[in-house]
Amino acid sequence: MSEVEAKESRNLRKSRVGEVVSSVQDKTIVVRVDRRSAHKLYKKVVTSSKKFHVHDESNTAKVGDVVKITECRPLSKLKRWRLVEIVRPAGE
């Protein structure tokens, strides 16, 4: 693997789109990301969700906003994601 390929593979970071469920903490929001998949046996579509603690430097996101988040270095015990953009504000 060349040096350029190694750098590119290091910079691949996961990104997710989810809804803000809590914005009470300072510079932190909690985002719920839903995932839909078919049940192995019954083939019914099942929705599962996971919550992520996300760093929001300027406290711009509010509850109900749909946001895009991306992975980053550990910022605290739980925060490993940061806010990229607000895709759709609440109430639209």
Domain range annotation of the chain: 16-88
CATH superfamily of 16-88: Nucleic acid-binding proteins (2.40.50.140)
pLDDT beneath 50: ranges in the chain: none
Provide the 3-class DSSP secondary structure of residue 6: helix
Q: Contact at 8 Å (CB) between 22 and 28?
A: no
Question: pTM for the whole thing?
Answer: 0.83
* The pLDDT value given to residue 92: 75
* The pLDDT value given to residue 12: 87
* The pLDDT value given to residue 61: 96
* The pLDDT value given to residue 16: 97
